[in-house]
Amino acid sequence: MSTLTPPQPAPSPAPEPSPARRPKPARLSLADVIRTGGSGLRSRPMRVFLSALGIAIGIAAMIGVVGISTSSQEELSRKLAALGTNLLTAEPGQSFTGEQAHLPDDAVRMARAVPEMESVSAIGKTDAKVYRNDRVPPQETGGLSVYAARTDLPDTVGIEVTGGRWLNAANTKYPAVVLGSRTAQQLGIDEAGPDAQVWLGDRWFTVIGLLAPNELAPELDSAALVGWPAAERELGFDGYPTTVYTRAEEAAVTDVQEILGATVNPESPNEVEVSRPSDALAAKQATDDALSGLLLGLGAVALLVGGVGVANTMVISVLERRAEIGLRRSLGATRGQIRTQFLCESLLLSALGGVGGVALGIAVTTGYAGYQGWPTVVPLWAMAGGVGATLIIGGLAGFYPAVRAARLPPTEALAAA
Amino acid sequence: MRPPVVDLDGVAKTYGDVAALADAHLTVRRGEMLAIVGPSGSGKSTMLNIMGTLARPTAGTVRIDGHAVDDLSDRELSALRARTIGFVFQSFHLAGGVPALDAVADGLLYSGLPRGDRRRLAEAALRRVGLGPRLYSEPHQLSGGEKQRVAIARAVVGDPPLLLADEPTGALDSRSGAVVMELLHELHGAGTTVVVITHDRDIAESLPREVRIKDGRIEHDSAALRQEAVAR
């Protein structure tokens, strides 16, 4: 046995002066804080996964909504870039007396006189209707219209001919017709050629070409287009254009838009309706924003529920780990260090959900955009915002449990073992 | 004379109306090894909590390694524990899934040492308690006696002047218990102050000094008796 301690008077003769150096707690390095916070997560992987999943679903919903709407906007701007935003149309409005007005027959020539104008073309609506054959009852028009078209129409509108050819100087005098995409589908015409005949204005017309769908001029999709002279001769067309299409220089579009009415109809400019089809396309997009707002709100609710899940997990974690808290206090952890540990654990837990949610949101966006044939765009601010929001939620959710853990008296914590 | 590590002067602790400890006077000097022995409910756990600065006394003064506990804030007490006191508990307090080396290195987590040093010292401490081959074993791979040796390594890894062992053999069979007690004797031999809290009279009698406690009062202190004998 070891040596006995020599006997001594108790208590000690004089109270020793307190040592000059008061004990000062050491600071944990950031790596130690993260490692300690993560230790609680490593020991309960299933619970961590499920809690993080709650957060991830909320974030994924929000990223998905933002990503899908951004992708569709990107698709629109690409489309507009391809179609051009410099197309302007002029149509007859109503006259002062409320009757249907008409554009002057030299509207195209006058529009062409504007220096900033790149190209001008026109169509004119006829009263004729087009049918699959001569046995279809006349009232079943199928919403299709017959227009006289100028030969320079494709250059101005940017419409594509997918089959056959467009009207030219040679065939405009003859019963030849070019069909819009919906018209061709409705009349059951798959291919242009001498065999493809449609019943148009009480006689057979040969389909010489088919058009691709065009979003800037959707009225052409359900149109049958015949040459200007043929329309006048065969269909009793009055020769007034009903839509003048113009392409102006990109920089001068708004200026041209203002003067176009007066240019095509100097006598009564207020009887002309000028519009810019690309604006209508963009406006259609804007109406989708209301739905996006609703979905974003749902995502926020999901995120909130996820945050409650994290708070619940943290409260349970603190209850279960009282013994660990007691041990750490006995090893010299301050209340602040215990608080930091649990706060860090909560932040790590929700950050895990946030990163997972961003990845899930990108996957959802990619999948949907791919299905729609859009480019995938997820804005950086949405990703950063998603992770940032989870950190705020983690901080809020972990705050109360962390404070509770820190307040636990060490003796009580150790007794819980 | 060696300086006292623990100095209790008229210390009392009451919980509501219940006096868990009353008018306790006790001085433990550096390098001593003693048992605080008593039946359950005698107040020995309260004594351990007060000596370990985990609880503050209701009355009297406590000095640990020269620091008056009353003067120190909770933060400063935490720092004092990190540097001065090592704890060994009956139930080991080893977290599942954590290898022995990391568990022991955690004993220095709040000391301010960098991680590399903590792990190096932890390895040395594990070798010192005879667990050199078990550095990477997790608690479920260790026997009860080995677990308690890991816990002892964690308590002494920072070389604290005071080691408080609360029923260190309470959860062990007698053979493992004997090994643990032998280890505590070795640590004492190397200069560590060891206080063993136990209800086991045999263990208490085998230690150089025995403080018996009953109903919250110290009723026998072998050092005090010796001191009286010398005085006569």
**CATH for the stretch B4-231:** 3.40.50.300
Supply the pLDDT for residue B120: 96
- Determine which helix (DSSP H) or strand (DSSP E) holds B9, and give its type and residue range: strand B4-15
Contact yes or no for A18 and B67 at CB 8 A: yes
Q: How far is CA A201 from the centre of its chain?
A: 45
Close Cβ partners of B185 (under 8 Å, ≥ 6 residues apart):
A1, A2, B33
Query: Cβ(A160)–Cβ(A89) under 8 Å?
Result: no
End-to-end, the C-alpha distance of chain A in Å comes to: 34
Query: Can you tell me the mean pLDDT for A308-320?
Result: 89
Give the closest of B1, B78, B87 to A334, CB-based: B78
Percent of chain A with pLDDT over 90: 37
Which residue in this structure is represented by tokens 């995120």? A303
- Tell me which residue of A297, A385, A299, A401 sits closest to A349, measured CA to CA: A401
3-class secondary structure, B31: coil
Q: What is the pLDDT of residues A102-156, one digit of tens each?
A: 888 888 888 888 888 889 999 999 989 999 888 888 888 888 999 999 999 998 8
Query: Can you tell me the mean pLDDT for A370-398?
Result: 90
Contact yes or no for B93 and A323 at CB 8 A: yes
Supply the pLDDT for residue B97: 86
The larger pLDDT score, comparing residue A288 to residue A399, is at A399
Supply the pLDDT for residue B149: 92
**Residue A20, burial from CB neighbour count under 10 angstroms (0-12, 13-18, 19+):** exposed
pLDDT class of A3 with cuts at 50, 70, 90: very low
Residue pairs between chains A and B whose CB atoms are closer than 8 Å = 157
Alpha-helical (H) ranges within A24-44 are 30-42
pLDDT class of A10 with cuts at 50, 70, 90: very low
Supply the pLDDT for residue A265: 86
Supply the pLDDT for residue A13: 43
Supply the pLDDT for residue A95: 76
- Tell me which residue of A1, A63, A276 sits closest to B189, measured CA to CA: A1
State ipTM: 0.93
| B98 Ramachandran zone, left/alpha/beta (phi>0; psi -120 to 50) | beta
Alpha carbons B75 and A336: distance in angstroms, whole number: 8
CA distance B39 to chain A (A): 18
Lowest mean per-residue pLDDT among A201-205, A285-289, B97-101: A285-289
Supply the pLDDT for residue B195: 95
Residue A290 CB coordination number (10 Å): 8
Query: Cβ(A155)–Cβ(A121) under 8 Å?
Result: yes
Supply the pLDDT for residue A284: 67
pLDDT class of A11 with cuts at 50, 70, 90: very low
pLDDT value at A19 more than 60 = no
Query: Cβ(A362)–Cβ(A67) under 8 Å?
Result: yes
pLDDT value at A291 more than 80 = no
Supply the pLDDT for residue A6: 44
pLDDT class of A288 with cuts at 50, 70, 90: low
Q: What residues does A244 pair with on adjacent strands?
A: A90, A122
Give the closest of A12, A31, A329 to B78, CB-based: A329
How far is CA A57 from each of CA A301, B95, B209, rounded to the nearest angstrom?
10, 32, 64
- Tell me which residue of A171, A209, A212 sits closest to A192, measured CA to CA: A209
The token pair that represents B136 in the structure block: 């990477």
- Tell me which residue of A181, A215, A247 sits closest to A75, measured CA to CA: A215
Supply the pLDDT for residue A371: 94
Query: Can you tell me the mean pLDDT for A168-184?
Result: 90
Q: Does A36 touch chain B (CB under 8 A)?
A: yes
Supply the pLDDT for residue B102: 94
3-class secondary structure, A120: strand
Q: Does B95 touch chain A (CB under 8 A)?
A: yes
Q: Does A320 touch chain B (CB under 8 A)?
A: no
**Residue B173, burial from CB neighbour count under 10 angstroms (0-12, 13-18, 19+):** exposed
Lowest mean per-residue pLDDT among A41-50, A92-101, A130-139, A355-364: A92-101
Q: Rounded to 5 degrees, what angle do the CA atoms B147, B152, B153 make?
A: 95
Alpha carbons B74 and A275: distance in angstroms, whole number: 76
- Determine which helix (DSSP H) or strand (DSSP E) holds B88, and give its type and residue range: strand B85-88
Low-confidence ranges of chain B (pLDDT < 50): none
CA distance B195 to chain A (A): 13
Supply the pLDDT for residue A364: 94
DSSP classification of residue A287? H
Close Cβ partners of B178 (under 8 Å, ≥ 6 residues apart):
none
- Determine which helix (DSSP H) or strand (DSSP E) holds B51, and give its type and residue range: helix B44-51
Alpha carbons B2 and B193: distance in angstroms, whole number: 11
pLDDT value at A385 more than 70 = yes
Supply the pLDDT for residue A140: 86
pLDDT value at A58 more than 70 = yes
Q: What is the pLDDT of residues A89-117, one digit of tens each?
A: 988 888 777 777 888 888 888 888 888 88
- Dihedral angle at the C-alpha atoms of B173, B179, B183, B188, nearest 10 degrees? 80
Per-chain mean pLDDT for chain A: 86
Alpha carbons A213 and A222: distance in angstroms, whole number: 9
Query: Cβ(A244)–Cβ(A111) under 8 Å?
Result: yes
pLDDT value at A20 more than 70 = no
DSSP classification of residue A266? S
Give the closest of A43, A335, A411 to B97, CB-based: A43
C-alpha torsion sign, points A394, A400, A401, A405: positive
The token pair that represents A312 in the structure block: 């619940």
pLDDT class of A12 with cuts at 50, 70, 90: very low
pLDDT value at A16 more than 60 = no
Q: What residues does A246 pair with on adjacent strands?
A: A88, A120
Lowest mean per-residue pLDDT among A240-254, A351-365, B194-208: A240-254
Contact yes or no for A11 and B9 at CB 8 A: yes
The token pair that represents B228 in the structure block: 């009286």
